Amino acid sequence: MLTWFKQRTRVLRTSAMRLALRYALLQVGVLALALLALFWTTYRYVQLDIEASLSHELASLRELPQPLLLERVQALAAHMQGTQRLRDYVLLTADGVQIGSPIEAWPEGLPTDGRVHQIVLHFTDSALDRDEDAKLPAIASVLPDGSRLLIAQEAGHLEDMRDVLPWVALALLLLAAGLSLALGLALGRRWLGRVEEINHTTAAIMQGALGARVGLSERDDEFDVLARHLNAMLERIEQAVNGMREVSDNVAHDLRKPLSRLKTRLELALRDAGTPEDDRRVMQAAIADADELMRSFEVMLAIARLEAGSAIPAPEPFDLSPLLRRIADLYADEAEAAARPFTVEIADDLPVSGSAPLLAQAFANLLDNAMLHTAAEVAIAVRVYRDDAHAVIEVIDHGAGIPADLHARMTERFSRGDAARTLPGSGLGLALVRAVVAAHHGAMALAATPGGGLTARLRLPLREA
Amino acid sequence: MRILVVEDDAQAAEFLRRGLVESGHVVDVAGDGKLGLSMALDVDYDVLIVDRMLPGRDGLSLIRMLRADARHTPVLVLSALGQVDQRIEGLRAGGDDYLVKPYAFSELLARIEVLARRVRPGGEAVVSTLLRVADLELDLEHHRVTRAGRRIQLQPRELRLLEYLMRRPGRVVTRTMLLEQVWDMHFDPQTNVVDSQISRLRAKIDRDFDPPLLHTLRGFGYRLGAESC
């Protein structure tokens, strides 16, 4: 009962209901004004019509010669007597004889100017048991022989209209108000229903059911648009949360490994009391482990910041060519030391906007990958060229390559090819490259090198001159 | 050297102080930014080590105030904020070097010694174009390198590395210092580009000569100088 009542009052508190109430009020007001205007104009026209008709009849009666007029007035008055009377006729002859309708006395206040005036007439009619005053439109005139003629219009239907119209208006107004309120109530309930749906969903999500989505109707109305947007937002959030969960799983996994290695190393050293030399070696190895952990950590942080869109707060214009050349030269020297074929081909003048240190790191990561994941004699080529409005950076190796279906997966965090599991590295390299490139509005792709091997290709938009 | 450590973490500050004192330096410690600034303005220190996040006044604003007062005392910024843009921010505020926590104490020691050396002999204006370490000479104006009077051909990137080392004779420079300051790489490459650069340089300046000048301190860094360690 209480909930039912609450449900009702909730409908009353909806914005739809409030809107409907306001509209009902406005509607009733406007309708009342309209009816009033209509009533007034109709009344006025009817009156004008009556005046014209009275003047016309008076004029035509005046035309008649005296004896005929007398008969005619008597006939008209008699005709009107029995049935529903429409008009009253009174003729007061010069010698004071009054014939025609049963008016008590000639109304002295009525000017005999042939114009219509409103005048109070007193009727006494014993036959109809009539004894009343009535204010009627009347017209009077003095005839050439000194007699006076009066024609008055009985109110009849006009009176009825004046009586009935207010009731009709009231009924109409009530109907309009009722309809508006009913509409508001219906709308309110419907809106409440749709909002309730959204509330249920958000409540479910707050309880932890991240997969919950707002149901859609088939109407494709504004609620559906809202629901779709909400669902899209929830999708995005769920992805982010899942991504985060995945990352923390991976972090737990990939950071736990070097951490446990570090711990084991120290525990073993503690147990087997070695020479100070041994201890030093263990300590150095432990520091190296810690450094590797820190590095992974920094890279993860960098990726997270890039993906949150906050890492390049102040992009700066610079030329990609000398930056890449400087790094490529360092790697070329290292390749030379290992007798590895290494070719560098970098176009001049590649103006970009962004973070030089981050792009340098991305490029170095690609080179690191090529160097670490191929045998020492495998040829590596660096090709950087301009392609329309983009700079294209290619690091091409002719090694074993990776299966094409793994290309997309390789850029995920901590993703490592099976062959690479035993090699050093956090598996974050390509994920960082992808994040850096994305933050520069570029794209990264892995492809098979024709004839075997892997090609990593970055496309970066050039800065417009 | 007289060093001021501005660090609010008492344990970290004590660890730093002990390490620096053991290395033969005189160390003062300030626990917050306000005290740190007034001490830095009062006393003529050789090097300041400033933590970035401090109570009272944060590290970067401390450095800005110091520089606004025309003090050119070299400052090493310590921070847990290690992303590239954060480092750049630290250097732009007037820091001379930036070290991310956790750091190796040896790295810190190497850096402050290099920092102090950079400004010490009679102000920073002296940028010599003729560098000499033992019988190795580098004429920066003509890009000429000679050892024992014999001409050595170096590539530009080898020249830059040699110049960096020759400006810090006898000092230990670490791998990270070289990466950051010679090649402007603010990350640690997986491959050993630093070692291969050092080997190339050593092959050119040491192979045909005696005594060896370019020394590797395993797991630590490099040093250019006649005397062996």
Q: Among A294, A333, A356, whose Cβ lies nearest the Cβ of B200?
A: A333
The residue-averaged pLDDT of B162-175 equals 89
Q: Among B82, B84, B192, whose Cβ lies nearest the Cβ of A355?
A: B84
Whether the predicted pLDDT of A422 surpasses 50: no
Tokens of A205: 């999500």
CATH of domain A234-307: 1.10.287.130
Q: Among B84, B102, B190, whose Cβ lies nearest the Cβ of A368?
A: B190
Instruction: Report the candidate in A336, A298, A318 with the shortest Cα–Cα distance to residue B176.
Output: A298
- Chain B: closest CA distance from residue A336 (Å): 9
Contacts of B184 in chain A (CB under 8 A): 326, 356-357, 360
Q: Which of A280, A289, A330 to mutate to test the interface with B (most CBs of B within 10 A)?
A: A330
Contacts of A331 in chain B (CB under 8 A): 191, 193
Higher-pLDDT residue of A7, A337: A337
Among A278-282, A385-389, B202-206, where is mean pLDDT lowest?
A278-282
**Confidence band, pLDDT 50/70/90 cuts, at residue B21:** very high
Domain ranges of chain A: 64-155, 234-307, 316-461
- Chain A: closest CA distance from residue B40 (Å): 31
Instruction: Report the candidate in B219, B194, B204 with the shortest Cα–Cα distance to residue A327.
Output: B194
Distance between CA atoms of residues B227 and B181, nearest Å: 25
pLDDT of residue B72: 87
Tokens of A12: 């009353």
The tokens 């205007």 sit on which residue? A37
**pLDDT tens, residue by residue, B65-115:** 999 988 889 999 998 887 777 888 888 888 899 998 888 888 899 898 888
The 8-class DSSP code of residue A103 comes to B
CB atoms within 10 A of CB B16: 21
A117 exposed, middle or buried (CB, 10 Å; 0-12, 13-18, 19+)? middle
3-state secondary structure of A231: helix
Contacts of B88 in chain A (CB under 8 A): 357
CB A425 within 8 A of CB A372: yes
**Confidence band, pLDDT 50/70/90 cuts, at residue A265:** confident
Distance between CA atoms of residues B25 and B38, nearest Å: 21
CATH of domain A64-155: 3.30.450
pLDDT of residue B127: 64
Higher-pLDDT residue of A1, B148: B148
Tokens of B177: 């210092």
A361 to B187: CB separation less than 8 angstroms, yes or no = yes
**pLDDT tens, residue by residue, A342-400:** 999 999 999 999 888 889 999 999 999 898 888 888 999 999 999 989 999 999 999 88
Q: Which residues of A touch B (CB under 8 A)?
A: 284, 287-288, 290, 294-295, 298, 301-302, 305, 311-314, 326-327, 329-331, 333-334, 337, 355-358, 360-361, 364-365, 367-368, 371-372, 424-425, 429
Query: Is B130-224 CATH 1.10.10.10?
Result: yes
Distance between CA atoms of residues A440 and A355, nearest Å: 8
Cis peptide before B211 (omega within 30 of 0): yes
Q: Among B183, B192, B219, whose Cβ lies nearest the Cβ of A326?
A: B183
pLDDT of residue A413: 56
Higher-pLDDT residue of A129, A283: A283
pTM: 0.61
**pLDDT tens, residue by residue, A137-168:** 888 888 887 888 888 887 766 677 778 888 88
- Chain B: closest CA distance from residue A348 (Å): 18
Phi, psi dihedral angles at B198 (to 5 degrees): -65, -45
Whether the predicted pLDDT of B119 surpasses 60: no
- How does the average pLDDT of chain A come out, rounded? 82
- Chain A: closest CA distance from residue B196 (Å): 5
Q: What is the 3-state secondary structure (H, E, C) of A278-310?
A: HHHHHHHHHHHHHHHHHHHHHHHHHHHHHHCCC
pLDDT of residue B123: 45
3-state secondary structure of B216: strand
Which residues are CB-neighbours of A346 under 8 A, at least 6 positions away? Answer: A321, A324, A325, A328, A382, A383, A384
Tokens of A55: 């003047």
**Confidence band, pLDDT 50/70/90 cuts, at residue B126:** low
Whether the predicted pLDDT of A416 surpasses 60: no
Higher-pLDDT residue of A320, A297: A320
pLDDT of residue A412: 61
**Confidence band, pLDDT 50/70/90 cuts, at residue B228:** low
B196 to A333: CB separation less than 8 angstroms, yes or no = yes
**Confidence band, pLDDT 50/70/90 cuts, at residue A128:** low
**pLDDT tens, residue by residue, A286-302:** 888 888 888 778 887 78
What single string gives the DSSP state of each residue in B47-104? EEEEESS-SSS-HHHHHHHHHHTT----EEEEES--SHHHHHHHHHTT-SEEEESS--
CATH of B2-119 given 3.40.50.2300, 3.30.830.10, 3.30.450.370, 3.30.365.10: 3.40.50.2300
The residue-averaged pLDDT of A400-427 equals 61
Q: How far is CA A298 from the centre of its chain?
A: 41
Domain ranges of chain B: 2-119, 130-224
Whether the predicted pLDDT of A84 surpasses 70: no
**pLDDT tens, residue by residue, A4-36:** 666 667 777 777 778 778 888 888 888 889 888
Given CA atoms B101, B104, B105, B110 in this order, what sign does their dihedral have? Answer: negative
Q: Among A287, A337, A365, whose Cβ lies nearest the Cβ of B104?
A: A287
Residue ranges of E strands in B97-167? 97-100, 130-133, 136-139, 144-147, 150-152
Contact with chain A for residue B83, Cβ under 8 A: yes
**Confidence band, pLDDT 50/70/90 cuts, at residue A435:** confident
Whether the predicted pLDDT of B8 surpasses 70: yes
**Confidence band, pLDDT 50/70/90 cuts, at residue A186:** confident
Round to the nearest angstrom and report the end-to-end CA distance of chain A: 73
Distance between CA atoms of residues A427 and A414, nearest Å: 4
- Chain B: closest CA distance from residue A412 (Å): 18
Whether the predicted pLDDT of B120 surpasses 90: no
Distances, alpha carbon B177 to alpha carbons A157, A285, A294, A333, B50, in Å: 110, 21, 17, 19, 18
CATH of domain A316-461: 3.30.565.10
**pLDDT tens, residue by residue, B141-158:** 888 999 988 999 998 889
B186 to A361: CB separation less than 8 angstroms, yes or no = yes
